[in-house]
Amino acid sequence: MTPDAIARVKASYDTLARDALALSTRFYEEMFRAAPKLRPLFPADLLALQGHFEAALSLVVRNLQEMSVLAQPLRDLGAAHVGWGARPDDYLVAREALIAAIRSRSAAWDETLEQDWRAAITGIIVPMLEGAAVETAMAAERLASTLEAQPPRTLQAKPPSTLER
Ligand code: HEM
C-alpha cells in the first residue's frame, strides 16, 4: 500500500473506532447474511469475540506501514482458524462483509477508499491463509510420521498353493 493509501485508511479508522462495537456488530451481521452456514462455527454470544476482533483490526491499522511485524502473529491467528473451521473462500466473504460494514459506518465513501480498505484487509488475510496452509502441512507431516514410526511388517509365511502340493 502507498503511504497515501495507508494515511486514508488510518483517518477512516479513527472515525470508525469511536464506535468499534457498532462496527464489529455490523461486520458479523453482514457476514452471516452473506453466508448463514458460518454462524454455527461461532459462539452464540459474540460479545467477547467482538472485542478480540476489534483489537486485532485496530492493531493492524496502527501498523499498516510495517505489516511485516505482524506477519507471524497473523499467521498464528490463521493457523488457529483452521481449528475453528474457516476455509479460504470464507475469508473473501469476511473481507466483503467488513468493507460493507465500514462503508455503512462511514460518512465519506468513494471508490478510492474502498480500494484502500480492500488492500488493507487483503494484507491481513494473506498471512492468515499462509498460516492456515502451514498448519495443514504440519498436520500432514504428523500423520505421515505415524506411518514411519510403525515397525516394518514381517513377511507372512505363504500358504502352500495347490500347484506346489
Ligand atoms: C479478516 C479476517 C479475520 C480476522 C482478522 C479474524 C480475527 C479473529 C480473532 C481476533 C479471533 C479471536 C481469537 C482468540 O480468541 O484468540 C477470531 C476468532 C474466530 N474466528 Fe476469526 N477472523 C477473521 C476471519 C474469520 C473467518 C473468515 C472465519 C470463518 C469461519 C472466522 C471464524 C472465527 C471463529 C469461529 C472464531 C472463534 C470463535 C470461538 O471463540 O469459538 N474468522 N477471529
The string of pLDDT tens digits covering residues 14-40 is 999 999 999 999 999 999 999 999 999
The residue whose CA is least distant from atom 6 of ligand 1 is 53
pLDDT at 81 over 60: yes
The residue whose CA is least distant from atom 12 of ligand 1 is 52
Instruction: Tell me the best of 23, 57, 84 to mutate to test the pocket of ligand 1, counting ligand atoms within 8 Å of each CB and taking the most.
Output: 84
Give mean pLDDT, residues 108-134.
96
Diameter over CA atoms, the chain: 92
Of the candidate CATH numbers 3.40.50.2300, 1.10.490.10, 3.30.70.560, 3.40.50.970, the domain formed by 3-149 belongs to 1.10.490.10
Give mean pLDDT, residues 47-59.
91
pLDDT at 152 over 90: no
Task: List the grid coordinates of 32.
Answer: 452471516
Instruction: Tell me the best of 38, 64, 67, 81 to mutate to test the pocket of ligand 1, counting ligand atoms within 8 Å of each CB and taking the most.
Output: 81
pLDDT score for 138: 93
Residue 148 — pLDDT band, cuts 50, 70, 90? confident
Contact 57/105 with Cβ under 8 angstroms?
no
Name the one residue in this structure whose C-alpha cell is 507372512: 156
Domain ranges of the chain: 3-149
